[in-house]
Amino acid sequence: MPPKNVNPSRMFTMSRLLVVAGKGGVGKTTVTAVMARASADSGLRVLVVTLDSRTGLSELLGGRATDGTTYDGTTIHTGLGPNGTGSIHLRTITASEALQDYLATQGLARLAKRLVASGVVGVVSSAAPGIDDLLVLGKIKHLVGLTGPNGEHDLILVDAPAAGHAISFLQSPRAMATTIRGGPLRSQAIEVQQMLTDPDKCRVLMVTLPETTPVNEMLETTESLRESVGVSFAPVVVNNVDVAVDMEALVAAGESTARGSLPTDDLMRAAEYRAERSALHRTTIERVGQISHDVITLPHVATASMDHDDVVVLADLVRGASPKRSRAKRPS
């Protein structure tokens, strides 16, 4: 369903970076794929960043399992959107590779390779919690600086760690800036913190389910990030929303089927259950809207495993367009 009181094109251009966050199991990675596809179908050049290449994000975007698993990444789609300007590029950023990249820009490429090969990065990460997150965010900050009309991308979407780690992930710049007295690392931390608190550059998109406990956890995470990091927020995405079925139509369909396949009483009970569940979901969504930001709702998809075609349909719903199947071009 389209965002409430939010213009979809405005939603994808309000910030250069959208960090998608949510508790494990709410569909955060799927929502990242949906938002990437919706923004690319709006004509934007989209960079999707994952911190873990094993999430299945590439397949959800329509790529191969190996696409986007490297630091430089893979262009999965081009030619999207009304004028064919939309594209999706996926890359994986790790702390060790971000450190190599950073040191290489300082003329220390050989040293970087030795440090990584010797395992020093892991030792430093253990001794100074948060430094690995800062390295990753530092690279993301660099990429944000390359966005815009004359840049490489229009929008960056980050599939953030699950909620608990997402908080410490985004808190790391402020913590490191407070801990480190001086030098380039402290300067990096300050610059990353400035990016996170600039709503024109960065917003956090929270994902939740239409149930009491996930919503409570989402609101707690939102408040924690607002107070400890100072980030701004995009509309909240409520995922897996059940939509009530038309009971009369369901009964009519049941009566037209072969006798003995499924009794009408069973159909009615199923419809009543769906109606009750849908009403509960609507109440929960209204609560999110009253307490938090504008809300995007994504419907429940009756499938054992989400795939790229499902992502395309949901992306069309986000944009308010008629759902279609994927016609994207893969780069040759």
pLDDT of residue 276: 79
- C-beta separation of 57 from 90 below 8 A: yes
Q: How many CA atoms lie within 13 A of 330 on its CB side?
A: 11
> Residue 18: which residues within 8 A CB-CB, separation 6 or more?
35, 155, 156, 157, 158, 202, 203, 204, 205, 234
Domain positions in the chain = 8-236+303-319
Confidence band for 7, pLDDT divided at 50, 70 and 90:
low
- C-beta separation of 26 from 209 below 8 A: yes
Q: Return the beta strands (E) in the chain as ranges.
A: 17-22, 45-50, 74-80, 86-92, 155-162, 202-208, 236-241, 295-299
Higher pLDDT among residues 308 and 282, named by residue: 308
Instruction: Give the dihedral sign, CA 8/14/18/22.
Output: negative
Q: Reduced to 3 states, what is the DSSP secondary structure of residue 72? A: coil
String of DSSP letters for 284-319: HHHHHHHHSS-EEEEE----SS--HHHHHHHHHHHH
pLDDT in tens, 196-250: 999 999 999 999 999 999 999 999 999 999 999 999 999 999 999 987 666 565 5
Q: What tokens does 320 get?
A: 């308010």
Which residues lie across from 48 on neighbouring strands?
90, 157
Q: How many CA atoms lie within 13 A of 168 on its CB side?
A: 9
Judged against a pLDDT cut of 60, whether residue 262 lies above it is answered with no
Q: Whole-angstrom Cα distance, residue 180 to residue 306?
A: 44
Q: Whole-angstrom Cα distance, residue 268 to residue 209?
A: 26
Phi and psi angles of residue 144, each rounded to the nearest 5 degrees, phi first = -60, -35
Q: Whole-angstrom Cα distance, residue 266 to residue 273?
A: 11
pLDDT of residue 332: 47
Q: What tokens does 203 get?
A: 């917003």
pLDDT of residue 316: 94
Percent over 90 (pLDDT), the chain: 58
- C-beta separation of 311 from 21 below 8 A: no
Pairing of strands 295-299, 17-22: unpaired
Q: What is the mean pLDDT of residues 263-279?
A: 74
CATH 3.40.50.300 fits 8-236+303-319, yes or no: yes
Poorest-confidence range of 114-118, 137-141, 216-220? 114-118
Confidence band for 286, pLDDT divided at 50, 70 and 90:
confident
Which residues lie across from 49 on neighbouring strands?
91, 158
Pinpoint the alpha helices (H) of 17-74.
28-41, 57-60
Q: How many CA atoms lie within 13 A of 220 on its CB side?
A: 9
Confidence band for 263, pLDDT divided at 50, 70 and 90:
low
Q: Which residue has the tokens 């997402």?
A: 166
Poorest-confidence range of 84-93, 187-196, 228-237, 275-284? 275-284
Q: Which of 228, 222, 267, 220 is nearest to 246 (CA)?
A: 267
Q: Whole-angstrom Cα distance, residue 44 to residue 39?
A: 6
Q: Reduced to 3 states, what is the DSSP secondary structure of residue 42? A: coil
Which residues lie across from 88 on neighbouring strands?
46, 77
